[in-house]
Amino acid sequence: MAGIALLLDLLRRNPSLSSHQSLHSHGLFSAAAAASAAAAAAAAARPFASRAIFGDGGFSYAYCDAGAIPTWKEENHDLDITVENIIQNGSVTYRTKDYPLELKPLFSAFGVKALAMTSLRSFLLFYLPLLEPRFPVEEDDDFAEEVSEEKKRDFVIPFQNSVKQIIRETTVVTTRRVLERVAVHHVSQRMAWKLLKDASRSAKRKAGRGMPTPLYVYCVSRTTFRAHMLGVAASWLVQIVIEAYRCFIRKPNNDEDFDSREKIRLYLKKVYGTTIKCGASLVFASIGAGIGALIHPSTGQWIGCALGDFAGPIIAIVCFEKLHLEL
Protein backbone atom coordinates (compact mmCIF):
# COMPACT_ATOMS: atom_id res chain seq x y z
CA MET A 1 0.00 0.00 0.00
CA ALA A 2 3.02 2.26 0.19
CA GLY A 3 2.93 2.93 -3.56
CA ILE A 4 -0.73 3.97 -3.49
CA ALA A 5 -0.04 6.27 -0.53
CA LEU A 6 2.76 7.95 -2.43
CA LEU A 7 0.51 8.48 -5.46
CA LEU A 8 -2.28 10.00 -3.34
CA ASP A 9 0.20 12.31 -1.61
CA LEU A 10 1.49 13.44 -5.01
CA LEU A 11 -2.05 14.12 -6.26
CA ARG A 12 -2.85 16.15 -3.15
CA ARG A 13 0.25 18.33 -3.55
CA ASN A 14 -0.30 18.91 -7.31
CA PRO A 15 -4.06 19.19 -8.01
CA SER A 16 -3.46 19.96 -11.70
CA LEU A 17 -2.62 16.30 -12.24
CA SER A 18 -6.18 15.26 -11.42
CA SER A 19 -7.61 16.51 -14.72
CA HIS A 20 -8.09 13.96 -17.48
CA GLN A 21 -6.17 15.92 -20.04
CA SER A 22 -3.04 16.47 -17.93
CA LEU A 23 -3.07 12.88 -16.80
CA HIS A 24 -2.42 11.66 -20.35
CA SER A 25 0.00 14.44 -21.25
CA HIS A 26 2.35 14.19 -18.27
CA GLY A 27 5.20 11.69 -18.68
CA LEU A 28 5.12 10.63 -15.05
CA PHE A 29 1.97 8.50 -15.44
CA SER A 30 3.42 6.09 -17.94
CA ALA A 31 2.73 2.40 -18.16
CA ALA A 32 5.93 1.75 -16.23
CA ALA A 33 4.76 3.82 -13.25
CA ALA A 34 1.38 2.09 -13.15
CA ALA A 35 2.97 -1.35 -13.31
CA SER A 36 5.45 -0.39 -10.60
CA ALA A 37 2.65 0.77 -8.30
CA ALA A 38 0.75 -2.46 -8.87
CA ALA A 39 3.85 -4.55 -8.17
CA ALA A 40 4.56 -2.59 -4.96
CA ALA A 41 0.98 -3.01 -3.75
CA ALA A 42 1.02 -6.75 -4.45
CA ALA A 43 4.36 -7.15 -2.67
CA ALA A 44 3.23 -5.11 0.37
CA ALA A 45 0.08 -7.21 0.77
CA ARG A 46 2.17 -10.27 1.67
CA PRO A 47 4.56 -10.53 4.62
CA PHE A 48 8.24 -10.21 3.80
CA ALA A 49 9.18 -13.64 5.14
CA SER A 50 6.68 -15.42 2.91
CA ARG A 51 8.06 -13.97 -0.32
CA ALA A 52 11.05 -16.29 -0.22
CA ILE A 53 8.69 -19.29 -0.12
CA PHE A 54 5.75 -18.25 -2.29
CA GLY A 55 7.54 -15.75 -4.53
CA ASP A 56 6.15 -12.38 -5.55
CA GLY A 57 2.63 -13.54 -6.21
CA GLY A 58 3.23 -15.69 -9.30
CA PHE A 59 2.93 -12.79 -11.80
CA SER A 60 5.57 -11.49 -14.19
CA TYR A 61 5.56 -7.84 -15.12
CA ALA A 62 6.57 -6.51 -18.54
CA TYR A 63 7.08 -2.81 -19.13
CA CYS A 64 5.91 -1.37 -22.43
CA ASP A 65 6.38 2.41 -22.62
CA ALA A 66 5.94 2.93 -26.34
CA GLY A 67 6.02 6.66 -26.90
CA ALA A 68 6.32 7.56 -23.20
CA ILE A 69 9.15 9.72 -21.92
CA PRO A 70 11.01 8.28 -18.93
CA THR A 71 11.23 10.59 -15.92
CA TRP A 72 14.92 9.94 -15.35
CA LYS A 73 15.71 11.87 -18.52
CA GLU A 74 14.67 15.10 -16.90
CA GLU A 75 16.43 14.36 -13.61
CA ASN A 76 19.71 12.95 -14.95
CA HIS A 77 20.25 14.41 -18.40
CA ASP A 78 24.02 13.77 -18.42
CA LEU A 79 23.52 10.06 -17.79
CA ASP A 80 21.03 9.93 -20.65
CA ILE A 81 23.51 11.48 -23.06
CA THR A 82 26.22 9.07 -21.95
CA VAL A 83 24.03 6.00 -22.46
CA GLU A 84 22.82 7.21 -25.85
CA ASN A 85 26.41 7.85 -26.97
CA ILE A 86 27.46 4.33 -25.92
CA ILE A 87 24.57 2.77 -27.82
CA GLN A 88 25.05 4.89 -30.95
CA ASN A 89 28.83 4.44 -31.07
CA GLY A 90 28.54 0.69 -30.60
CA SER A 91 30.81 0.58 -27.55
CA VAL A 92 28.69 -2.11 -25.95
CA THR A 93 29.38 -5.13 -28.12
CA TYR A 94 29.27 -8.85 -27.53
CA ARG A 95 32.35 -10.62 -28.85
CA THR A 96 31.50 -13.86 -30.58
CA LYS A 97 34.05 -16.20 -32.12
CA ASP A 98 33.37 -17.36 -35.65
CA TYR A 99 34.37 -20.80 -36.87
CA PRO A 100 34.89 -20.53 -40.64
CA LEU A 101 34.83 -23.88 -42.41
CA GLU A 102 36.94 -24.03 -45.55
CA LEU A 103 36.22 -27.25 -47.43
CA LYS A 104 38.64 -28.12 -50.18
CA PRO A 105 37.32 -29.68 -53.42
CA LEU A 106 36.44 -33.34 -53.17
CA PHE A 107 38.82 -34.36 -55.98
CA SER A 108 41.61 -31.95 -55.10
CA ALA A 109 44.13 -34.81 -55.27
CA PHE A 110 43.56 -35.04 -59.04
CA GLY A 111 44.50 -31.44 -59.71
CA VAL A 112 47.44 -30.75 -61.99
CA LYS A 113 49.79 -29.46 -59.31
CA ALA A 114 48.83 -32.01 -56.64
CA LEU A 115 48.97 -34.97 -59.02
CA ALA A 116 52.32 -33.82 -60.44
CA MET A 117 53.85 -33.54 -56.95
CA THR A 118 52.49 -36.96 -55.97
CA SER A 119 53.83 -38.56 -59.14
CA LEU A 120 57.26 -36.97 -58.74
CA ARG A 121 57.51 -38.05 -55.13
CA SER A 122 56.45 -41.63 -55.92
CA PHE A 123 58.85 -42.09 -58.85
CA LEU A 124 61.75 -40.66 -56.87
CA LEU A 125 60.95 -43.00 -54.00
CA PHE A 126 61.32 -46.13 -56.11
CA TYR A 127 63.83 -45.05 -58.76
CA LEU A 128 66.43 -43.25 -56.65
CA PRO A 129 67.82 -46.51 -55.20
CA LEU A 130 68.50 -47.68 -58.76
CA LEU A 131 70.55 -44.58 -59.55
CA GLU A 132 73.11 -44.99 -56.78
CA PRO A 133 76.71 -45.12 -58.09
CA ARG A 134 78.52 -48.43 -58.22
CA PHE A 135 82.29 -48.86 -58.16
CA PRO A 136 83.92 -50.78 -61.02
CA VAL A 137 85.05 -54.32 -60.29
CA GLU A 138 88.04 -56.05 -61.86
CA GLU A 139 87.45 -58.99 -64.16
CA ASP A 140 89.61 -61.33 -62.10
CA ASP A 141 87.46 -60.73 -59.04
CA ASP A 142 85.38 -63.63 -57.78
CA PHE A 143 82.30 -61.42 -57.58
CA ALA A 144 82.46 -60.40 -61.24
CA GLU A 145 79.61 -62.67 -62.21
CA GLU A 146 77.41 -61.38 -59.42
CA VAL A 147 78.12 -57.79 -60.41
CA SER A 148 77.26 -58.51 -64.03
CA GLU A 149 73.95 -59.90 -62.90
CA GLU A 150 73.29 -56.85 -60.77
CA LYS A 151 73.89 -54.59 -63.76
CA LYS A 152 70.78 -56.01 -65.33
CA ARG A 153 68.39 -53.78 -63.50
CA ASP A 154 64.68 -54.18 -63.82
CA PHE A 155 62.82 -50.88 -64.31
CA VAL A 156 59.37 -52.40 -64.70
CA ILE A 157 58.79 -53.33 -61.05
CA PRO A 158 59.72 -49.84 -59.73
CA PHE A 159 57.35 -48.35 -62.29
CA GLN A 160 54.53 -50.61 -61.10
CA ASN A 161 55.26 -49.74 -57.48
CA SER A 162 55.28 -46.05 -58.33
CA VAL A 163 51.87 -46.28 -60.00
CA LYS A 164 50.49 -48.16 -56.99
CA GLN A 165 51.88 -45.48 -54.66
CA ILE A 166 50.25 -42.73 -56.73
CA ILE A 167 46.89 -44.51 -56.61
CA ARG A 168 47.24 -45.04 -52.87
CA GLU A 169 48.10 -41.40 -52.08
CA THR A 170 45.31 -39.98 -54.23
CA THR A 171 42.87 -42.41 -52.60
CA VAL A 172 44.00 -41.32 -49.13
CA VAL A 173 43.53 -37.63 -49.97
CA THR A 174 40.09 -38.26 -51.50
CA THR A 175 39.06 -40.32 -48.46
CA ARG A 176 40.13 -37.45 -46.24
CA ARG A 177 37.95 -35.03 -48.19
CA VAL A 178 35.01 -37.39 -47.69
CA LEU A 179 35.73 -37.59 -43.95
CA GLU A 180 35.88 -33.79 -43.78
CA ARG A 181 32.39 -33.53 -45.25
CA VAL A 182 31.12 -36.20 -42.86
CA ALA A 183 32.61 -34.26 -39.94
CA VAL A 184 30.99 -31.00 -41.08
CA HIS A 185 27.52 -32.59 -41.22
CA HIS A 186 27.69 -34.81 -38.12
CA VAL A 187 29.71 -32.93 -35.48
CA SER A 188 29.42 -29.45 -34.04
CA GLN A 189 30.69 -26.49 -36.02
CA ARG A 190 33.37 -25.79 -33.42
CA MET A 191 34.74 -29.35 -33.53
CA ALA A 192 34.59 -29.44 -37.34
CA TRP A 193 36.55 -26.19 -37.42
CA LYS A 194 39.25 -27.75 -35.23
CA LEU A 195 39.46 -30.83 -37.44
CA LEU A 196 39.69 -28.78 -40.64
CA LYS A 197 41.98 -26.07 -39.27
CA ASP A 198 45.24 -25.21 -41.02
CA ALA A 199 47.79 -26.11 -38.34
CA SER A 200 50.57 -23.99 -39.87
CA ARG A 201 48.47 -20.81 -39.84
CA SER A 202 47.27 -21.59 -36.35
CA ALA A 203 50.87 -21.95 -35.13
CA LYS A 204 51.72 -18.59 -36.69
CA ARG A 205 48.77 -16.93 -34.93
CA LYS A 206 49.71 -18.50 -31.61
CA ALA A 207 53.29 -17.24 -31.96
CA GLY A 208 52.02 -13.65 -31.87
CA ARG A 209 50.21 -14.06 -28.55
CA GLY A 210 53.34 -14.07 -26.39
CA MET A 211 52.73 -17.47 -24.78
CA PRO A 212 55.33 -19.15 -22.58
CA THR A 213 57.41 -21.71 -24.46
CA PRO A 214 55.98 -24.87 -22.81
CA LEU A 215 52.41 -23.63 -23.29
CA TYR A 216 53.12 -22.69 -26.91
CA VAL A 217 54.57 -26.13 -27.70
CA TYR A 218 51.60 -27.81 -26.03
CA CYS A 219 49.04 -25.72 -27.92
CA VAL A 220 50.71 -26.28 -31.29
CA SER A 221 50.97 -30.02 -30.64
CA ARG A 222 47.32 -30.20 -29.62
CA THR A 223 46.20 -28.26 -32.69
CA THR A 224 48.31 -30.44 -34.98
CA PHE A 225 46.91 -33.58 -33.35
CA ARG A 226 43.36 -32.49 -34.15
CA ALA A 227 44.12 -31.21 -37.64
CA HIS A 228 46.15 -34.32 -38.56
CA MET A 229 43.56 -36.74 -37.21
CA LEU A 230 41.43 -36.97 -40.35
CA GLY A 231 44.48 -37.56 -42.54
CA VAL A 232 45.67 -40.43 -40.35
CA ALA A 233 42.13 -41.86 -40.22
CA ALA A 234 41.95 -41.79 -44.03
CA SER A 235 45.32 -43.53 -44.32
CA TRP A 236 44.18 -46.16 -41.80
CA LEU A 237 40.96 -46.85 -43.72
CA VAL A 238 42.76 -47.22 -47.04
CA GLN A 239 45.38 -49.53 -45.56
CA ILE A 240 42.68 -51.66 -43.91
CA VAL A 241 40.93 -52.08 -47.26
CA ILE A 242 44.23 -53.03 -48.92
CA GLU A 243 44.95 -55.63 -46.25
CA ALA A 244 41.45 -57.05 -46.64
CA TYR A 245 42.05 -57.42 -50.37
CA ARG A 246 45.38 -59.12 -49.78
CA CYS A 247 44.01 -61.54 -47.20
CA PHE A 248 40.62 -62.50 -48.61
CA ILE A 249 40.55 -61.75 -52.35
CA ARG A 250 44.00 -61.94 -53.85
CA LYS A 251 45.44 -65.38 -54.38
CA PRO A 252 48.65 -66.09 -52.46
CA ASN A 253 51.90 -66.30 -54.45
CA ASN A 254 52.96 -69.55 -52.85
CA ASP A 255 51.17 -72.84 -52.93
CA GLU A 256 49.99 -72.60 -49.34
CA ASP A 257 46.24 -72.41 -48.94
CA PHE A 258 45.00 -70.81 -45.72
CA ASP A 259 41.64 -71.64 -44.27
CA SER A 260 39.11 -69.01 -43.22
CA ARG A 261 40.18 -68.91 -39.58
CA GLU A 262 43.81 -68.43 -40.53
CA LYS A 263 42.90 -65.64 -42.92
CA ILE A 264 40.86 -63.88 -40.24
CA ARG A 265 43.68 -64.23 -37.73
CA LEU A 266 46.17 -62.85 -40.24
CA TYR A 267 43.85 -59.98 -41.12
CA LEU A 268 43.31 -59.03 -37.47
CA LYS A 269 47.08 -59.06 -36.99
CA LYS A 270 47.45 -56.68 -39.95
CA VAL A 271 44.74 -54.41 -38.56
CA TYR A 272 46.48 -54.35 -35.18
CA GLY A 273 49.83 -53.48 -36.72
CA THR A 274 48.32 -50.79 -38.94
CA THR A 275 46.53 -49.22 -35.98
CA ILE A 276 49.74 -49.08 -33.94
CA LYS A 277 51.67 -47.51 -36.81
CA CYS A 278 48.98 -44.91 -37.56
CA GLY A 279 48.67 -44.04 -33.88
CA ALA A 280 52.44 -43.59 -33.59
CA SER A 281 52.40 -41.47 -36.73
CA LEU A 282 49.74 -39.18 -35.26
CA VAL A 283 51.47 -38.83 -31.89
CA PHE A 284 54.97 -38.18 -33.23
CA ALA A 285 53.67 -35.82 -35.91
CA SER A 286 52.08 -33.72 -33.16
CA ILE A 287 55.27 -33.77 -31.06
CA GLY A 288 57.44 -32.91 -34.06
CA ALA A 289 55.14 -30.05 -35.03
CA GLY A 290 55.35 -28.58 -31.52
CA ILE A 291 59.15 -28.77 -31.50
CA GLY A 292 59.50 -27.51 -35.06
CA ALA A 293 57.28 -24.50 -34.30
CA LEU A 294 60.01 -23.24 -31.95
CA ILE A 295 62.32 -22.83 -34.94
CA HIS A 296 59.71 -21.25 -37.22
CA PRO A 297 55.98 -20.98 -36.46
CA SER A 298 54.75 -21.94 -39.92
CA THR A 299 57.50 -23.72 -41.86
CA GLY A 300 58.97 -25.37 -38.78
CA GLN A 301 55.57 -26.72 -37.79
CA TRP A 302 55.05 -28.23 -41.23
CA ILE A 303 58.52 -29.80 -41.39
CA GLY A 304 58.25 -31.16 -37.85
CA CYS A 305 54.84 -32.65 -38.61
CA ALA A 306 56.16 -34.34 -41.78
CA LEU A 307 59.24 -35.74 -40.00
CA GLY A 308 57.17 -37.01 -37.09
CA ASP A 309 54.68 -38.58 -39.46
CA PHE A 310 57.50 -40.43 -41.22
CA ALA A 311 59.44 -41.43 -38.09
CA GLY A 312 56.43 -42.52 -36.01
CA PRO A 313 55.90 -45.96 -37.61
CA ILE A 314 59.67 -46.63 -37.66
CA ILE A 315 59.97 -45.84 -33.95
CA ALA A 316 56.98 -48.07 -33.21
CA ILE A 317 58.54 -50.99 -35.13
CA VAL A 318 61.88 -50.58 -33.34
CA CYS A 319 60.20 -50.43 -29.93
CA PHE A 320 58.18 -53.56 -30.61
CA GLU A 321 61.30 -55.38 -31.77
CA LYS A 322 63.14 -54.38 -28.59
CA LEU A 323 60.24 -55.74 -26.54
CA HIS A 324 60.15 -58.92 -28.65
CA LEU A 325 56.58 -58.29 -29.74
CA GLU A 326 55.13 -58.96 -33.13
CA LEU A 327 53.80 -56.04 -35.12
Is 181 inside any structural domain? Answer: yes
Last residue of a domain, one of 187, 215, 249: 187
Note the pLDDT of residue 174: 95
Instruction: Indicate whether 124 and 239 sit together in one domain.
Output: no
Residues 183 and 202 in one domain: no
On whether both 212 and 325 belong to a single domain, the answer is yes
pLDDT average per 10 residues of sequence, the chain (327 residues): 56 52 43 48 46 40 40 46 53 58 85 90 83 57 51 78 93 94 90 90 90 93 94 95 89 67 90 94 95 92 93 92 82
pLDDT at residue 238, as a whole number: 95
Give how far Cα 108 sits from Cα of 103, 114, 168, 178, 301, Å: 10, 7, 14, 11, 23
Q: Are 174 and 240 part of one and the same domain?
A: no
| 3-state secondary structure at position 287 | helix
Residue 312, pLDDT score: 92
Q: Residue 58: its pLDDT value, please?
A: 40
Domain match, 268 and 212 both: yes
Residues 204 and 319 in one domain: yes
Whether 96 is in a domain gets the answer: no
What pTM, to 2 d.p., does this model score? 0.64
191-198 contact pairs (CB < 8 A, 24+): 192/99, 192/101, 193/99, 193/100, 193/101, 194/223, 194/226, 194/227, 195/226, 195/227, 195/229, 195/230, 196/101, 196/102, 196/103, 196/227, 196/230, 197/223, 197/226, 197/227, 198/227
Task: Clarify whether residues 81 and 125 are in a common domain.
Answer: no
Residues 216, 295, single domain; the answer is yes
Please report, for residues 200, 215, 237, 296, the alpha-carbon distance to residue 184 in angstroms, rounded to integers and kept in the order given.
Answer: 21, 29, 19, 31
- The answer to the question of residue 139 being in a domain is no
At 103 the pLDDT is: 83
120-126: which pairs have CB atoms within 8 A and are 24 or more residues apart? 122/162, 122/163, 122/165, 122/166, 122/169, 123/162, 125/162, 125/165, 126/158, 126/159, 126/161, 126/162, 126/165
Q: Are the CB atoms for 313 and 280 separated by under 8 Å?
A: yes
As a whole number of angstroms, the distance between CA 53 and CA 135 comes to 98
Classify burial at 247, counting beta carbons within 10 Å of its beta carbon; exposed 0-12, middle 13-18, buried 19 or more. buried
Whole-angstrom Cα distance, residue 32 to residue 36? 6
Residue 221 is assigned to a structural domain of this protein: yes
pLDDT reported for residue 129: 75
Do residue 52 and residue 82 come from a single domain?
A: yes
Same domain, 241 and 164: no
Has residue 85 been placed in a domain?
yes
Question: What would the DSSP string read from start to end of 125-163?
Answer: HHHGGGG-------TTSTTHHHHHHHHS---HHHHHHHH
Number of domains composing the chain: 3
Confirm whether 141 is domain-assigned.
Answer: no
- pLDDT reported for residue 151: 55
Please indicate, yes or no, if residue 326 is contained in any of the structural domains.
yes
Q: Which domain holds residue 305?
A: 197-327
Is residue 142 in a domain?
Answer: no
Question: Are 35 and 65 within one domain?
Answer: yes
Same domain, 115 and 154: yes
Single out the residue of 310, 283, 148 nearest to residue 228, CA to CA.
283
